[in-house]
Structure 1
């Protein structure tokens, strides 16, 4: 955050996330700049700003130098809006004398006449309508008419002082097409917001916004993701976990499988995070589902965010194991979302998780998997920071989080696409190993912050009855490397078969 505490009375913009970033909206009767390249959503934000004012009974004015009134109304219709009588659109067009070549002056630059006429029309319209909120679109036209930086600055200052005398909250738009390096309005404006559009190598464009300046006011600094949907712009403020501390009673959560709870020293702590790590096919999702079913059995709601697997296939696969996830979803006890990493920004995903936890009281969250989550990140460092804030937030809400990561490889040395083991409170390691001509699976706990845990390695099996975990593998060495050596006795040969349940 930046600045100091300011005036309490603020003009809300009408975009919840942006009002949150600005800690309430715009201080009234000041001039603000909204800048961004064409297509970043400036017009949509401006219309939402005016619609919010109109909904509060304020008179508003949209002065357009670049778009026609018809184009603005078409934009509103595309979002399902109707511009009511409190929203006046003034389409500022050059006077006919300036369009007539026969009447153009030879001793004066036409831009001098146009700039003066433009200013006069703006003042006349404001005097007539007496608005509380104004949008001026766009500064690029005024900059071109001014010709020089000195005349441009003087013109902006004149507009600022005029609007200030009339107690108007003004939002000026700049599409950065004339001179993107000109910071004249930055120094004059009370606040500056920049909208940006990023084009990844694959997937939909990503949009983000940043408050560059807000004089004398606190605001949430840094970049915040936003999207443009039917219905307007949605801003997803960057999650800061320290702002969301809550109190809850800690305790241990059981999985419903006694052997797994024993491995974890009695269960997973409430309000902690567990990372389930292993190669493809080892059953990471099934272990997470086990905790989801246990939470629902306790009368709680659970949430699953599925990145990699098609949700219908997950329902069918778990149904064959006796788990009716689809029925639990239909009953409202399981909230499950299919996440398309190519279409969803990290900020939007964090907002979705936060919404489920806040509104529905979810206390068990599954993110399957971080490999898919990583695809939504431009860099690995960003992923680690996002995961850190998300886990800290969930932990502080008393929610227990289960994350899965698919390692590269099947046996032997494993490569992890991103190392988040230090962030998790517990790490459950799954492995394939070969023994006596069969491919087997082993589970071990390699980390647990709260309390003791077993240091043994147990074999587990996936069958029609679900997950079954056997006794510790005491007759083998090198199980975690994938090619173990048998060092036990003939009696130990039967140990891996215990608990098979078939």
Structure 2
């Protein structure tokens, strides 16, 4: 199928969903409610015409001047774009003209058909947009006449070598079922208060990426973010570990985090989850590995200030271009935007380390989950990054400061290959922190707990706390039988 000629839709993300664009001479139907952006989709398609190609906009809806202003607004107008307005104008709203345009007695509508045929014959367009095709229904006598004329129009345009895009208004009182049977491609647009989605529900040809996918109409036009789908064939990558640069911490992990694994740093607020994971980012960056940090709960400024205070030095890494920080503010991004950002970073920027900082913020700040579980999305992200050989870290907060030990408050521990937990403990009137490893799928690990400190010189990890028991309850006791002996025996 690699030699099939493709026609770009003019929307990079939609082309990726379609596997490269529409097939040459296909006809596609873009369906959606009012305000979903159907006309802008069509204008992108027409503006993507290549050198020497011509595009034709057959307009049954808004006045041409309005459409031209829309095209200018999105910078989608060009000398190769031509308009054929078949919508009634103000001047045509006389009794005589109304009869000519709309009377069902004139079943064949020869003036309209001749106008379309003559324009196509003269222009020989490579791309045609009919917007909206559903208006054509009102210019025919009945459903049979409508279907016959649509089929004739599509066949005529295909015979002239044109690739055709049609728009259809989705409404409860206006069915377009017949159109869906007649077209090669169906692209459904949907709008909810939470997000906008696009789904290719029919495609005669090679398979397309399953959806729904996220999209938005911005001042720059239409942007589509294909849903992240884990690869069927994992890439080959060299095994290895990502060190923390702290020998005692690496000892806990039998050398560090294995490449191509997902690690959860789990613990209550203030335990040091983000700082500890940043230590791995720092070490990876110092060895030339590209890293991406997605911060879902705290600002980029706060993260940089913290890193400077603890001698991690993120600012220097940002200046060198080895680390990128994206601050995902509440309601600013959809889940598909974030996953597309991750996929682009891995495939185009050669990112080898990804930190998702703040799972609670991930599920609360992002839009577009709909009825789907955020854990399922996190699982897909983890599976994709694992298959691409990327070392992934996720920080996850549990609300208990002390007391009964819990690793996560979501049913998601199965997403992680490794679980590193951090805890507060109260001992002899002071609050300390400890770190330990609960799980590592790919290697052995040290099954002890160690004291964890954060100083102006960086992260400090102590020796195993063998003399303390009950640490995971948050109220440990001192076991004198395990004290190091001082009598030489």
In the superposition, the TM-score normalised over structure 1's length comes to 0.88
Whether the 8 Å contact between 2:239 and 2:258 is mirrored in structure 1 is yes
The alpha-carbon deviation at position 77 of structure 1 amounts to 2.4
The residue aligned with 2:383 is 392
The residue aligned with 1:455 is 447
**2:477 pairs with 1:485:** yes
Whole-Å Cα distance in 2 between the matches of residues 280 and 380 of structure 1? 28
Whole-Å Cα distance in 1 between the matches of residues 448 and 64 of structure 2? 73
- 4+ residue segments displaced more than 6 Å: none
The alpha-carbon deviation at position 96 of structure 1 amounts to 8.0
**2:135 pairs with 1:144:** no
SS at 2:155 equivalent? helix
Q: 1:73 aligns with which of 68, 74, 93?
A: 68
1:288/1:33 CA distance change after superposition, 3 Å: same
**2:392 pairs with 1:401:** yes
1:182/1:483 CA distance change after superposition, 3 Å: same
The alpha-carbon deviation at position 32 of structure 1 amounts to 1.5
Q: 1:245 aligns with which of 218, 228, 234?
A: 234
The residue aligned with 1:93 is 87
**2:163 pairs with 1:169:** yes
1:23/1:141 CA distance change after superposition, 3 Å: same
The residue aligned with 2:487 is none
The alpha-carbon deviation at position 457 of structure 1 amounts to 1.6
Whether the 8 Å contact between 2:297 and 2:361 is mirrored in structure 1 is yes
**2:39 pairs with 1:47:** no
1:220/1:429 CA distance change after superposition, 3 Å: same
Whole-Å Cα distance in 2 between the matches of residues 362 and 224 of structure 1? 23
Q: 2:421 aligns with which of 426, 429, 433?
A: 429
Whole-Å Cα distance in 1 between the matches of residues 250 and 414 of structure 2? 22
SS at 1:392 equivalent? helix
The residue aligned with 1:135 is 129
SS at 2:270 equivalent? coil
Q: 1:232 aligns with which of 217, 221, 225?
A: 221
The residue aligned with 1:497 is none
1:381/1:473 CA distance change after superposition, 3 Å: farther
The residue aligned with 1:184 is 178
Whole-Å Cα distance in 2 between the matches of residues 417 and 75 of structure 1? 49
Which has the higher mean CA deviation after the structures are superposed, 430-439 or 282-291?
A: 430-439
Deviations 1:99-137 (CA, angstroms, capped at 9, x unpaired): 21367669x973555982443432332233221211000
SS at 1:347 equivalent? helix
Whether the 8 Å contact between 2:267 and 2:407 is mirrored in structure 1 is no
Which has the higher mean CA deviation after the structures are superposed, 186-195 or 31-40?
A: 31-40
Alignment of 1:272-421 (within 5 A): 272-375=261-364, 376=366, 378=369, 381-413=372-404, 414=406, 416-421=408-413
The alpha-carbon deviation at position 188 of structure 1 amounts to 0.5
Which has the higher mean CA deviation after the structures are superposed, 11-20 or 42-51?
A: 11-20
Deviations 1:258-297 (CA, angstroms, capped at 9, x unpaired): 1111111221112212110111111111011100111122
1:114/1:307 CA distance change after superposition, 3 Å: farther
Whether the 8 Å contact between 2:63 and 2:87 is mirrored in structure 1 is no
- Matched residue pairs, number? 481
Whole-Å Cα distance in 2 between the matches of residues 101 and 143 of structure 1? 21
Whether the 8 Å contact between 1:112 and 1:145 is mirrored in structure 2 is no
Q: 2:149 aligns with which of 150, 155, 178?
A: 155
Whether the 8 Å contact between 1:62 and 1:89 is mirrored in structure 2 is yes
1:77/1:270 CA distance change after superposition, 3 Å: same
Whole-Å Cα distance in 2 between the matches of residues 31 and 80 of structure 1? 25
The alpha-carbon deviation at position 347 of structure 1 amounts to 1.5
**2:462 pairs with 1:466:** no
1:244/1:86 CA distance change after superposition, 3 Å: farther
Deviations 1:331-355 (CA, angstroms, capped at 9, x unpaired): 2122111112512111211111122
Whether the 8 Å contact between 1:140 and 1:178 is mirrored in structure 2 is no
SS at 1:242 equivalent? coil
1:280/1:379 CA distance change after superposition, 3 Å: farther
Whether the 8 Å contact between 1:306 and 1:337 is mirrored in structure 2 is yes
The alpha-carbon deviation at position 237 of structure 1 amounts to 1.9
